[in-house]
Amino acid sequence: MSRVGKKPIALPSGVKLQIGSELVVEGPKGKLVVPIPQGVTIENANGTVQISRESDRQAAAHGLTRALASNAIVGVSAGWTRELDIVGIGYRCEVKGNIAVFTLGYSHSIEFLLPKGVEMTVDKQTHIVLKGHDRQLLGQVAANMRALRPPDPYKNKGVRYTGEVLRKKVGKSGAGGKGK
């Protein structure tokens, strides 16, 4: 039995649900749509959302649907945030409207177009805060930004998530295999 799927979801005030072939969640931050697989039913009663399934064949879909619905409800009411840090001498970022301009040690600067629904602020040119209501989109944007210059295990330079722990590798030793 899915432990995740059995947990009820508390419905905050200001959030409206429309249950049909898919779950439409509307709130002060925006609107999201969650697909409902066959065999999984969603009920809204007394300010809580309960998700159930027909048989054990839908166990994985049961838990997944509950997690997606919960993420949508939290997203449209409170929103999600993701933070990144830029580490390296001369590495920085700035925001111009909905375009983020990264300087990451390449011969050119990188322009990153922010999708609709994702807001970005930069503190001290090296700390990025992403905010949005769609958790999946926000995580994908953060991953794409990190992929512009992934953290280097030898010098620890690059774009990383705030709080991400990196293992620093030891480089080559000095005179190694050179003759005398």
Residue 85 to residue 128: CA distance in whole angstroms: 6
Residue 75 to residue 153: CA distance in whole angstroms: 34
CB count within 10 Å of CB 18 equals 12
Q: What is the DSSP letter of 56?
A: G
Residue 72 to residue 119: CA distance in whole angstroms: 17
Asked if the model's pLDDT at residue 110 lies above 60, the reply is: yes
Residue 33 to residue 26: CA distance in whole angstroms: 9
Say whether 8 sits in a helix, a strand or coil: coil
CATH 3.90.930.12 segments of the chain: 3-77, 80-161
CATH 3.90.930.12 fits 3-77, yes or no: yes
Asked if the model's pLDDT at residue 3 lies above 80, the reply is: no
**Model pTM?**
0.80
Nearest one of 56, 70, 59, 63 to 23, comparing CA atoms = 70
Instruction: Identify the pLDDT of residue 7.
Output: 85
CATH 3.40.190.10 fits 80-161, yes or no: no
| pLDDT tens sequence across 66-90 | 889 889 998 888 889 999 999 888 8
In this structure, the strands spanning 48-53 and 92-96 are unpaired
Alpha helices by DSSP H, listed for 87-179, are 135-148
Q: What percent of the chain has pLDDT over 90?
A: 14
| pLDDT tens sequence across 18-67 | 888 888 988 888 888 988 888 888 888 888 888 888 888 878 888 888 88
